[in-house]
Amino acid sequence: MPKVIFLPHEELCPDGLVIEVKEGETILDIALRNSIHIEHACEKSCACTTCHVVVREGFDSLEESDELEDDMLDKAWGLEPDSRLSCQACVTDKDLVVEIPKYTVNMVSESH
């Protein structure tokens, strides 16, 4: 079974976490099921950037992002070549190392 390794994040996952997972599950669903509360303001509909992550290892094993995800990612804080929206990136048969960025852009909460 593949593993997803979440690197330490000061607030969401201070010690990091290694999780064995099933293929086909999104990075976001894996995180949420394991009490890593990555923000997902659009409820996983690929309409925001709050679930942005950087896949430090295993990026090439993921299916390519589609045009909608790419358009959303262009608005993400701290965008990197290996960035993905965690609600769209599904695990395959390879291990992933995932970094959750320190900041996120939430248009909903920031407009109030």
Domains and CATH numbers, the chain: 6-103 (3.10.20.30)
Please choose, from the candidates 45, 2, 49, 58, the residue with its C-alpha nearest in 3D space to the C-alpha of residue 25: 2
Q: What one-character-per-residue DSSP string does 74-111 give?
A: TTSTT--TTEEETTT-B--SS-EEEE--S----HHHHT
Mean pLDDT across the chain, nearest whole number? 92
Taking only the tens place, the pLDDT of each residue in 5-52 is 999 999 999 999 999 999 999 999 999 999 999 999 999 999 999 999
Model-wide pTM > 0.85: yes
Burial class (CB in 10 A: 0-12, 13-18, 19+), 6: buried
pLDDT digits (tens, 9 = 90+) for 45-101: 999 999 999 999 999 999 999 999 999 999 998 999 999 999 999 999 999 999 999
111 — pLDDT class (breaks 50, 70, 90): very low
